[in-house]
Structure 1
């Protein structure tokens, strides 16, 4: 999967930017990387472009190479790409009033819309209810909001994000795609964490603790983006504003 969002739709932590990045380390524009993605998935890949906001690209897994579930779903201008699986999907479908055959991407969209529109439950509690190994990116086109998360005990699902030369933010499970457009201004999307366009990066496993950025150094000793971890000694407000109300998610 591949998601690219213009600066302003996603405002990444500044620590993700590496002073070592240059035109030499970032050899391709995001659209060139998109072309590579689609070229490498000629029969099962597609992309959706959202005017000047960004784009999403997805390739359904070919059965003979299936190693990890990949799903795409859209509903009422909300789009979700989901990687991995949930062990308690049936229970959650019942909880949200969904059909028994609803998949994880459908569930995540329903959970997101519930949080956005009417739920008094904090976002971190909703994500902590997801049992399994997963990563997802939700894009709400009407609200211009990105909501992404990466969770799971064994971290078998890995996401990466970075800042391209044009300032846009790229999120993918393929580190080669991210490095092609972001050079050294990239890093792993931290496990147990969520990102929301209006509240930034935070931990849903430790919601009362602050994210701490630590520099990443490449094999040549140059600063290379940042690694984000939870600061065990800090507490922060984790409320997340809803788009249609003065109330909030937290």
Structure 2
């Protein structure tokens, strides 16, 4: 993960790094509802946006099954972030639905995933194997890329070509015609529905 501090003003830094309980977070941007989120997660007034995001991630991790799209939907503002959880060796990344801040990802020559807000860093590390992180999306280790506005629809990659017709990356789009398998219903309501079906047969 690479973070550039170019064009950042000292009076209001919009990029921050925080480490809490073996969770590393790089946050870029601002959250307009940070005061509400501090209150919701029981954090002090001094808690930064990155701290709030780490706390939201820990709720997602520790209170499973908690839908990740709901966690990110609560974040209002212009942002992108990358979280690495060293305890579980997992990655969690997201970008706001408008793609308001610069955020790129790609594959380095050794096969490593590279994430950065600096296009020069990503080009040097990945050559042509990079693309903008898709707006309105979440990436989680083990489950891949999903849209937080359309969590039940598949994300499709489409090849991006340069002026010479060579493939130089991918662009991701939500396929609204392909639904992902949802989690089966559980609980008394589901059991009642099943019993009605069985009795009717």
Instruction: Find the partner of 1:135 among 80, 85, 88.
Output: 80
Mapped partners of 1:181, 1:86: distance in 2: 29
Structure-2-length-normalised TM-score: 0.84
Indicate whether 1:69 and 2:23 are aligned. no
Listed as ranges, the gaps of 5+ residues in structure 1 are: 4-56, 240-250
Mapped partners of 1:120, 1:232: distance in 2: 24
Mapped partners of 2:8, 2:54: distance in 1: 25
Note the 1:98-109 alignment, pairs <5 A.
98-109=43-54
Change in CA separation of 1:62 and 1:151 when aligned onto 2, cut-off 3 Å: closer
Mapped partners of 2:4, 2:122: distance in 1: 16
Instruction: Find the partner of 2:130 among 175, 183, 186.
Output: 186
Per chain length, whose mean CA-contact separation is higher, i.e. which structure has more relative contact order (CA < 8 Å, sep 6+)? 1
* Preserved CA contact (<8 Å) 1:93 1:102: yes
Mapped partners of 2:95, 2:75: distance in 1: 11
> Corresponding residue for 1:110?
55
CA RMSD of aligned residues (A): 2.0
Change in CA separation of 1:64 and 1:126 when aligned onto 2, cut-off 3 Å: closer
Indicate whether 1:123 and 2:50 are aligned. no
> Corresponding residue for 1:30?
none
Note the 1:220-231 alignment, pairs <5 A.
220-231=164-175
Listed as ranges, the gaps of 5+ residues in structure 2 are: 184-201
Structure-1-length-normalised TM-score: 0.68
User: Deviation at 1:119?
Assistant: 4.8
User: Deviation at 1:64?
Assistant: 4.6
* Preserved CA contact (<8 Å) 1:164 1:182: yes
